[in-house]
């Protein structure tokens, strides 16, 4: 099979909350793909993980810049020379973008480099402005676009339902991370089930592991402290304030607990105030953003993983915890139902039910055999369905099957 040369077109890269994209790129590179990244803007924040540094050292990353009028004319002339048969159609589509035309214009400035590099595929994460940039490039080059939707993009519709529907129609592959997402996309965008591929995000199951076949940690509530963990940016949608209140309930009921909150963000001050008000300074630790080796260490010392997010696809952090044999206790979300229910890997309670969350934690603390069996099941589920290497192979095949228009290789 011909070596695949893939261009990722993203909003920004690398972002702290989107290390799954870095992981995907790393996995495709291990599969022999040549990867470059093109962004609409620089990242607002940057993850401090070793794998991010490795990818940045070995992967070209460019930020789009708006072209001058003369440069744009030269670019369009070059595109006409390369692909005269489809140029008028591509030009018309670009002109009809309306308010989003500036996105396509920034993308067009990159045409000379892209034509020179002879990419075999374009990958996009999220149905957002970067999808418009990618499909504009595809129209002028014939390089097929594969888009992966997650959750916020098909809930919040950052480019609007009609625009998203139009852009999906230009894609060779429409991929999403869960069955729940596929159902929603069918209803919202009028897509057929056969038009949408479900390809799970995955994690490095070898890294998130105890390194042996040791059983999940035992727990004795009479002699041990129950260690809990949660990971996520400190923002309103993650709703970590519910966890602080839940810890107060557990302490009041005599359970020895400690919660480590990994992540940073605008809600830190509010959480610090809440922790102080409830006198939980020794119970709740706001650890800030941590590199992945330290995240793995925290998970390795924990008994349960908690999530109170109000909106999420299938959380990567939950996958990492499950790979470390941790049962999940969380507020119900469609993606979490899909992740946990097949093998009974945890307990879901209704959104905003803080007492229910505390009760679920307490019930598992009182039943160590159940906690252990859930831990076994959790890792097995991740190994079977959420392994990064396995899923990268599937993505590589999807990209290969998309093919490239023969006219892409026409040289003027």
- For the segment 3-13, the average pLDDT, to the nearest whole number, is 94
Strands 173-176 and 196-198: parallel
Pick one of 3.50.50.60, 3.40.50.2000, 2.120.10.90, 3.40.1780.10 as the CATH number of 5-202+389-409.
3.40.50.2000
Kindly indicate the confidence band of residue 22, based on its pLDDT and cuts at 50, 70 and 90. Answer: very high
Q: What is the pLDDT of residue 405?
A: 43
Please write the tens of the pLDDT for every residue from 304-327.
Answer: 999 999 988 899 999 999 999 999
CA pair distance 189, 175, nearest whole angstrom: 14
Q: What is the pLDDT of residue 409?
A: 36
CA pair distance 72, 74, nearest whole angstrom: 5
Q: DSSP character for 209?
A: S
Cβ atoms < 10 Å from Cβ of 289: 18
Lowest-confidence range among 48-52, 195-199, 297-301? 48-52
Question: Do the domains spanning 5-202+389-409 and 226-386 agree at the CATH topology level?
Answer: yes
Residue 46's contacts (CB-CB under 8 Å, 6 or more residues apart) are 14, 15, 16, 52
Question: Does residue 83 carry a pLDDT above 90?
Answer: no
Please write the tens of the pLDDT for every residue from 354-366.
Answer: 999 999 999 999 9
Q: DSSP character for 408?
A: G
Tokens 């129209």 map to which residue? 139
CATH-assigned architecture of domain 226-386? 3-Layer(aba) Sandwich (3.40)
Instruction: Give the pair of three-digit tokens for residue 282.
Output: 């020794």
CA pair distance 274, 183, nearest whole angstrom: 38
CA pair distance 382, 386, nearest whole angstrom: 5
> Max Cα separation, the chain?
78
Question: Does residue 410 carry a pLDDT above 50?
Answer: no
Q: What is the pLDDT of residue 411?
A: 31
Instruction: Name 234's bridge partners.
Output: none
Residue of 396, 407, 405, 409 whose CA lies nearest to 4: 396
**How is the beta sheet containing 5-10 ordered, strand by strand?**
61-63, 34-39, 5-10, 121-125, 145-149, 173-176, 196-198
Kindly indicate the confidence band of residue 407, based on its pLDDT and cuts at 50, 70 and 90. Answer: very low
Question: Cis ω on the peptide bond leading into residue 93 (within 30° of 0)?
Answer: no
Tokens 């409830």 map to which residue? 278
| Kind plus residue range of the DSSP H or E element containing 35 | strand 34-39
Residue 171's contacts (CB-CB under 8 Å, 6 or more residues apart) are 135, 144, 145, 146, 147
CA pair distance 228, 305, nearest whole angstrom: 6
Q: DSSP character for 100?
A: G
- For the segment 169-197, the average pLDDT, to the nearest whole number, is 96
Instruction: Give the pair of three-digit tokens for residue 402.
Output: 């998309």
| All structural domains of the chain with their residue ranges | 5-202+389-409, 226-386
Cβ–Cβ < 8 Å for 260, 323: no
Cβ–Cβ < 8 Å for 40, 70: no
**Mean pLDDT over all residues of the chain?**
91
CA pair distance 217, 302, nearest whole angstrom: 8
Cα-flanking dihedrals φ and ψ of residue 159, to 5°? -110, 5
Residue 146, SS3 per DSSP? strand
Please write the tens of the pLDDT for every residue from 121-140.
Answer: 999 999 999 999 999 999 99
């Amino acid at each position: 099979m011909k070596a695949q040369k893939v261009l990722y077109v993203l909003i920004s890269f690398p972002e702290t909350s989107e290390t799954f994209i870095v992981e995907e790129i790393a996995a495709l590179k291990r599969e022999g793909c040549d990867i470059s990244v093109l962004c609409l803007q620089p990242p607002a924040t940057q993850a401090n993980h070793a794998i991010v540094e490795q990818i940045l050292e070995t992967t070209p990353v460019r930020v789009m810049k708006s072209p001058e009028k003369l440069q744009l004319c030269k670019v369009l002339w070059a595109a006409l020379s390369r692909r005269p048969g489809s140029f008028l159609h591509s030009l018309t589509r670009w002109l009809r973008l309306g308010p989003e035309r500036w996105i396509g214009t920034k993308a067009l400035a990159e045409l000379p480099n892209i034509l020179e590099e002879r990419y075999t595929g374009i990958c996009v994460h999220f149905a957002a402005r970067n999808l418009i940039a990618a499909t504009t490039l595809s129209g002028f080059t014939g390089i097929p676009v594969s888009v992966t939707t997650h959750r916020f993009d098909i809930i919040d519709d950052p480019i609007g339902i009609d625009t998203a529907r139009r852009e999906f129609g230009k894609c060779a592959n429409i991929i999403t991370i869960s069955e729940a997402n596929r159902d929603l996309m069918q209803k919202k965008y009028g897509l057929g089930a056969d038009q949408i591929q479900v390809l799970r995000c995955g994690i490095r199951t070898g890294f998130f592991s105890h390194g042996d076949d040791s059983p999940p940690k035992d727990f004795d509530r009479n002699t041990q402290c129950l260690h809990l963990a949660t990971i996520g940016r400190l923002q309103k949608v993650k709703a970590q304030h519910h966890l602080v209140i839940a810890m107060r309930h557990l302490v009041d009921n005599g359970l020895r607990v400690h919660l480590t909150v990994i992540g940073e963000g605008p809600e830190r001050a509010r959480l610090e105030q809440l922790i102080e008000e409830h006198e939980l300074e020794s119970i709740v630790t706001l650890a800030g953003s941590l590199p992945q080796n330290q995240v793995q260490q925290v998970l390795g010392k924990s008994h349960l993983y908690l999530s109170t997010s109000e909106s999420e696809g299938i959380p990567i952090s939950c996958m990492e915890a499950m790979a470390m044999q941790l049962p999940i206790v969380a507020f119900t979300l469609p993606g979490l139902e899909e992740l946990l229910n097949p093998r009974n890997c945890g307990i879901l309670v209704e959104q905003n039910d803080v007492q229910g969350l505390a009760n679920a934690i307490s019930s598992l603390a009182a039943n160590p055999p159940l906690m252990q069996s859930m831990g076994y099941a959790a890792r097995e589920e991740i190994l079977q369905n959420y392994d990064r290497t396995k899923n990268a192979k599937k993505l590589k095949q999807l990209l290969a099957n998309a093919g490239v228009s023969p006219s892409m290789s026409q040289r003027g």
